[in-house]
Chain A
Amino acid sequence: MSTLAHVFEAEGLATVSLISIRKVAETMRPPRALYCEFPLGRPLGKPQDAEFQHDVLQHAFATLEFAAGPVLRDHPVVIELDDATPLACAVPPRFDATLAPAVDELIALRAAFDRTRNARGGVTSVGRAVAVDDLAAEMQKLVAIVDGAPWNEVGLRDNPVGIAHDLRTYYEEAALALNDDPPAPGAAESWYYEITEGGRAVLAARLAMRDQGAPFPIWFYMARATR
């Protein structure tokens, strides 16, 4: 992003960068930058908090008042990633005992997912690799990998990283419909990986793929590096 700031400015556009990693701004010196120590993924800090977002923009646009640069300022508020506390979000009870728990759970969350999608006019970030209707089948394949099937023989429809993205996004979007407030930073992710059958199945499949000798980029990027 800092590269773009330099390029744009050289072309005649004034730029203001919201920076999430201060060391990057210190090294790359974009013309004007506001360092925001907010959770990665939330550069404006707080979802559904227009007042706070306006405060961030006010600090950002204040850097336009300088006559020379580079300018690097810090937003005064720090928001920590609370990744130790999973979202307090109910998971559905077992319904079909003939299905793997992760598959059964995924199917049961469909109504919640649909509520979130409908609230956004039918828009979802699921679908990079797998359509929503095909997610259960892909989850079943990951469960098979955990049970010992070779990862490259179960018939995954696409890159496992993309499938893992779609599964996580499906759960996190479903979780929005099961809570009144926007999730605290990292809380939905922690709920998915630590509480749900689906998230735990993905992590287990990731480790099984590693142990089966799958290429590093294929299994590693199926979840956050620190998991």
Chain B
Amino acid sequence: MSTDHDMRAYAGNLPMPVFDSVAFVVPPPLAECSVAIVTTAALHSSHDDGYTNTDTSYRVINRTDRDLVLGHWSPNFDRAGFAADLDVVFPINRLEELAARRIIGSVAPRHLAFAGNQEDTVSSLRLDAGPRAARELLADGVDVVLLTPV
């Protein structure tokens, strides 16, 4: 039995917030969309601040940043994949290739990283950091967000 199987079983049985309604935005055709990555892998530029183990804030990652550090506190996942290839967590180079092929409209100028932390009420993500992050992306003209975990 793999450790990932155990972790999935454990995490899948933790209390989770339930959303009674599901907001659903129909975007323009993908070839016209600006796409941003928002990751919960606690990535940050090597020149930016790291995260505390209860941090619910986010960091901005510019489109050209490649000096990214994995700042997540959990020891319960593979880290060597990221060390070998940034795109296995944060597929920024893949997005650039999709934009060059005109499969997506463009790569957003700024991307975001959270640390995967939330209180039981998820209030800071729902009421503070989450909406603030969304408005930053909307101001950049983003249409579609690709969310990646670790």
Contact = CB atoms under 8 A, between A and B. Distances in A.
Q: Do A and B bind each other?
A: yes
A28 B19 contact: yes
A6 B150 contact: no
Interface of B: 2-8, 10-13, 16-19, 22-27, 30, 33, 38, 40, 46, 50, 53, 66-71, 73-85, 87-89, 91, 93-95, 97-98, 104, 114, 116, 118, 122, 125-126, 130-131, 133-135, 137-138, 142-150
A64 interface: yes
A16 B84 contact: no
Contact of A6 (B22, B27, B138): B22
Contacts of B104: 61
Contacts of A70: 22, 24
A31 B22 CA distance: 6
B75 A125 contact: no
Contact of B138 (A1, A5, A13): A13
Contacts of B19: 6, 28-29
Interface in A178-209: 182-183, 185-189
Interface residues of A, number: 84
Nearest to B16: A27
B54 to A, nearest CB: 11
B150 A189 contact: no
A195 to B, nearest CB: 14
A53 B2 contact: no
Interface string A88-104: 00000000000000000
Contact of A43 (B25, B84, B88, B135): B88
A223 interface: yes
Interface string A46-69: 111010011001001100100111
5 contacts: A29-B22, A41-B77, A42-B78, A44-B87, A81-B4
B48 to A, nearest CB: 12
A12 B116 CA distance: 22
Contacts of B40: 1, 4
Contact of B148 (A43, A69, A161, A223): A43
B5 to A, nearest CB: 8
A197 B37 CA distance: 38
Centre residue among A43, A176, A185, A188 by max chain B CB count within 10 A: A43
B122 A161 contact: no
Contacts of B143: 13-14
A15 B19 CA distance: 16
Given A16-B144, A39-B4, A6 B23 contact: yes
